[in-house]
């Protein structure tokens, strides 16, 4: 690890780059701990998008005039930069811009799943999958006659790897697995699962929405066939997501959506498709958002992804320790360590998660409450909902203390 990555973050300097963190509610400074849902956006990203609108705003790949040429270059360079960020050596041809991770998963499920799946085929998921994956493959399986199987989790919130070896067989067509659980914080062994899938001639799709923002990700080292993530969870703008795919696999897929910008030739009788990645990006794409995502990637790499991971995990470990010491807080997922990321799911005994989040809000502490789009996982845990505190580069130990103090207020209110 480089010395830069080994050094602690200068959190106070970083916080100064996020003006929203200065907001106060009834005299209380905002404590933003809902980063697994959406991170805040630094000034450099906002400025990059504003500069685009001020100076370059035009449609891409459509015009010969100067602005269109400049916008097209910005858009294409964003593909290359984000591909580089996740280790995709094929560049823009392996990196499709979508609206978000959910759309990326649907693109794959419709473009590949409807064509390739049939009776007797199995889609293997895990019990901790986000609805974006679970519901999508469930619906595709119903349409095609395929079957969904689910790898169990252990009582401490880890993936049951022995059960994974039982589930992934020669009948498996694709394995769909979340890299980091948005409810448990579990970091899954995705490279091992990829190797297991490939041993059975199956593909693997990885939902990286909770991984790419906070840890180094190399899709080629994982050997993922497909990998998806979202801009708004990694200091970037909303409205843009990414689907990485191995070039030879993407070349073999037909488009999921149709229209202008993704065609090569159209006649009244037939149409042919353009090159990668454009054949999967019909219509006017998220140009300004791509510019913003490019800036966000530069920003995160300037900090260092190892440092970001270490900072998040340190805060999560501190929060876990503080909450565990309370005695009446139920914690979900693995204990702090290499198998856990920077979020903590929990419940305060005798207080519904929604009530707890409301009281947190009275103290200007923003957390998440609900099923986090993982209803089957909550059924497995035996709870209707949970609270979640999730951390990012600008959070501090003092904010963890503020979380615990707000929980104490809720405890007294419901006593």
Identify which of 124, 205, 123, 131 has the alpha carbon closest to the alpha carbon of residue 161.
124
Among the listed residues 74, 148, 242, 373, the single catalytic one is: 373
Helices of type H across 86-230? 101-108, 114-116, 131-144, 161-167, 190-199, 219-222
- List the structure tokens of 271: 């149409």
- Nearest Cα neighbor of 121 from 94, 102, 99, 140 is 140
Do the bridges between strand 386-390 and strand 343-348 make them parallel or antiparallel, or are there none, so unpaired?
A: antiparallel
Question: Is position 373 annotated as part of the catalytic site?
Answer: yes
Three-state SS across 208-258? CCCCCCCCCCCHHHHCCCEEEEEHHHCCCCCCCEEEEECHHHHHHCCCCCC
Pair 45, 235: CB distance under 8 Å: yes
Instruction: Supply 96's token pair.
Output: 């499709």
**Phi, psi for residue 27 in degrees, rounded to 5:** 80, 5
Report, as residue numbers or ranges, the catalytic residues: 373
């Amino acid at each position: 690890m480089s010395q830069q990555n080994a050094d602690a973050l200068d959190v106070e300097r970083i916080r100064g780059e996020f003006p929203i963190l200065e907001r106060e509610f009834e005299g209380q400074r905002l404590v933003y701990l809902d980063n697994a849902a959406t991170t805040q956006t630094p000034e450099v990203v906002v400025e990059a998008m504003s500069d685009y609108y001020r100076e370059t705003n035009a449609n891409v790949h459509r015009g010969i005039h100067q602005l269109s040429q400049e916008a097209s270059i910005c858009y294409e360079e964003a593909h290359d930069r984000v591909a580089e960020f996740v280790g995709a050596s094929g560049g823009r041809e392996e990196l499709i811009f979508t609206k978000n991770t959910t759309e990326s998963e649907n693109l794959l499920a419709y473009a590949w799943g409807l064509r390739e799946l049939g009776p007797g085929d199995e889609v293997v998921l895990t019990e901790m999958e986000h609805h974006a994956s679970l519901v999508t493959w469930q619906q595709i399986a119903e349409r095609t006659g395929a079957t969904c199987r689910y790898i169990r989790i252990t009582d401490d919130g880890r993936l049951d790897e022995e059960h994974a070896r039982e589930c992934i067989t020669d009948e498996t067509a694709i394995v769909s697995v979340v890299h980091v659980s948005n409810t448990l914080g579990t970091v899954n062994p995705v490279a091992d699962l990829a190797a297991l899938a490939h041993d059975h001639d199956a593909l693997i799709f990885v939902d990286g929405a909770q991984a790419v923002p906070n840890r180094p990700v190399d899709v080629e080292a994982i050997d993922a066939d497909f990998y998806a993530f979202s801009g708004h969870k990694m200091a970037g703008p909303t409205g843009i997501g990414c689907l990485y795919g191995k070039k030879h696999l993407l070349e073999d897929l037909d488009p999921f959506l149709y229209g202008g910008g993704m065609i090569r030739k159209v006649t009244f009788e037939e149409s042919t498709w353009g090159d990668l990645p454009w054949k999967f990006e019909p219509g006017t794409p998220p140009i300004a958002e791509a510019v913003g995502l490019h800036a966000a990637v530069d920003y995160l790499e300037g900090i260092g992804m190892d440092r970001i991971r270490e900072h998040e995990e340190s805060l999560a470990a501190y929060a876990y320790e503080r909450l565990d010491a309370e005695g009446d807080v139920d914690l979900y997922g693995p204990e702090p360590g290499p198998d856990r990321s920077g979020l903590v799911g929990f419940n305060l005994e005798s207080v519904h998660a929604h009530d707890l989040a409301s009281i947190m809000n009275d103290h200007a502490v923003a957390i998440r409450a609900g099923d986090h789009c993982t209803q089957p996982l909550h059924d497995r845990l035996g709870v209707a909902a949970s609270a979640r505190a999730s951390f990012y580069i600008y959070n501090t130990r003092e904010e963890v203390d503020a979380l615990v103090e707000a929980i104490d207020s809720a405890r007294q209110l419901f006593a």
